Amino acid sequence: MLEMNRNLVLNVLRTGAASRAEVVRQTGLSPATVSLIVSELVESGLVNEVGQGKSSGGRPPVVLRLDDERNNVVGVKLMRQGISVAVTDLRSEVLYSELAPLTLGRSRRREAAGSQGGFDGQTVGPGPVLESVSVAIERSVARAGLGLDQVVGVGIGLAGLVQPGTGVCRYSPPFGWENVAVAAPISDRLRRPVLVDNDVNTLTVAEQWFGRGQGVDNFIVVTVGEGVGAGIVVDGKLYRGAGGAAGEIGHIPLADQPAPCRCGNSGCLEALSSDDAVRRYVAEALERGEQSALAGKDDLSMAALRHAAEAGDRVAIEALEKAGRMLGLGIAGLVNTLDPRLVILSGEGTQAGSLRSDAALAVMRQRSFAGIGRKVDFVVDSTDDVAWARGAACIVLGELFSPPIRRSIELTPIPKRPSRAFADREPSP
């Protein structure tokens, strides 16, 4: 109960400064309860008592605000193509963001730049990758005008299976990693707590905090691109499953088909609806001798496919629509399982135009049980990499804003210290 009340108070302060009376009014909690929670938050260093609000006659009220000066967070989306970093304040406002290059071994950079955008089954040594991430974080924090001592924690999202609360990546197809400690080396170097999560989960938290999922208790985010995945929010909480693998919908066995999947099985949803699946449908049509402007093109990009489809190329149109119908079957299964209010379709694959998403929506509506799919709101949200990184920052904020006893890692607000002007006069260590 206290935890819920604490979140109510924090949610008021996340939208801006407020007096105790305003917090009481907005939360509906008793003045005594608000006083108790506020004292604890001020004590912990998350909330400051500042200035004086507008007086209504008597003693002017003290205004409460989140302490953004001492407490900031960093979110990272780690991809084969680069590192997206966002430095945010406690209200998840982005202070600075950048897309930094990722250092891979010399022989591997060529693979990462290939038309498939990675996912070639090659293992990438974690050392240089994690060092690149640390360097990008240090640089971004400096460019935001902050010191690392003003960062409460770092959140990192990457594609793959992450064991909740351990910072260990059990399996990551783009990097070929198995059981790689991602959090520890970065945390050791930066001397900051580091949380790691699946990247679709970080995007889902971004949608929940400042995107289309705001105020929606039950929704799913489906991402499509080189892979297919989902983030699941049930009763207002991100659902990770027993071992962190919830939402791996790309590997729902959809059909008894020979379509090979990079997980080693075949007929998976991902193998039938991802960008690679679209390319395979095009190749199959060309093999059958169908006429297309795409004939003879080796590196088939999604942009080229979209261009061809928009110019009326039947092979391109049918490939995108077929992938969309398969995606719709997968989403219908998810809708039947979870009965969400909202489905958000995202991921880089949404940039290939609306043919795949339109087909997915039609099939989801048609094939869900008892018409529940017709009541689901469906939106396409082509978020950029900064939104994913910002979501990773929100995962840290979510931990920070939860009571210490519920936190999965040690995460404490930065303690109060002498004002900076005073600290500047002290000899440096």
The binder of Zn ion chosen from 108, 212, 240, 251 (CB under 5 A): 251
CB of 339 to Zn ion, least distance (A): 25
Verify whether residue 199 is a known catalytic residue: yes
Binding mask 201-240 for Zn ion (x = CB under 5 A): ----------------------------------------
- Rounded to the nearest angstrom, the gap between the alpha carbon of residue 67 and the centroid of all alpha carbons in its chain is 24
CB of 251 to Zn ion, least distance (A): 4
CB of 33 to Zn ion, least distance (A): 49
CB of 245 to Zn ion, least distance (A): 13
**Please, which residue, 76 or 261, has the CB nearer to Zn ion?**
261
Number of residues counted as binding Zn ion (CB under 5 A): 5
**Please, which residue, 52 or 265, has the CB nearer to Zn ion?**
265
CB of 267 to Zn ion, least distance (A): 8
Asked if 184 is part of the footprint of Zn ion (rule: CB under 5 A), the reply reads no
CB of 268 to Zn ion, least distance (A): 3
**Please, which residue, 30 or 265, has the CB nearer to Zn ion?**
265
**Please, which residue, 277 or 302, has the CB nearer to Zn ion?**
277
Which stretch in 197-205, 247-255, 332-340, 390-398 sits in contact with Zn ion by CB under 5 A? 247-255
Which stretch in 42-50, 72-80, 255-263, 305-313 sits in contact with Zn ion by CB under 5 A? 255-263
**Please, which residue, 264 or 415, has the CB nearer to Zn ion?**
264
**Please, which residue, 251 or 322, has the CB nearer to Zn ion?**
251
Measured CA to CA, the distance from residue 204 to residue 220 in angstroms comes to: 8
Which stretch in 203-211, 236-244, 248-256, 332-340 sits in contact with Zn ion by CB under 5 A? 248-256
Residues 81 to 120: which contact Zn ion by CB under 5 A? none
CB of 230 to Zn ion, least distance (A): 14
**Please, which residue, 161 or 184, has the CB nearer to Zn ion?**
161
Which stretch in 32-40, 98-106, 249-257, 305-313 sits in contact with Zn ion by CB under 5 A? 249-257
Which stretch in 23-31, 215-223, 254-262, 318-326 sits in contact with Zn ion by CB under 5 A? 254-262
**Please, which residue, 72 or 274, has the CB nearer to Zn ion?**
274
CB of 266 to Zn ion, least distance (A): 8
Binding mask 257-296 for Zn ion (x = CB under 5 A): ----x-x-x--x----------------------------
User: In this structure, are residues 282 and 357 in contact, taking their beta carbons and an 8 Å threshold?
Assistant: no
The catalytically annotated residue of 67, 89, 197, 199 is: 199
Of residues 34, 7, 15, the one with CA closest to residue 23 = 34
Measured CA to CA, the distance from residue 122 to residue 105 in angstroms comes to: 12
Beta bridge partners of 129: none
Of residues 253, 254, 271, the one with CA closest to residue 262 = 271
The CA-based dihedral angle spanning residues 273, 109, 166, 338, taken in that order and rounded to the nearest 10 degrees: -10
The CA-based dihedral angle spanning residues 114, 118, 120, 122, taken in that order and rounded to the nearest 10 degrees: 110
Annotated catalytic residues are: 199
What residues line the site for Zn ion (CB under 5 A)? Answer: 251, 261, 263, 265, 268
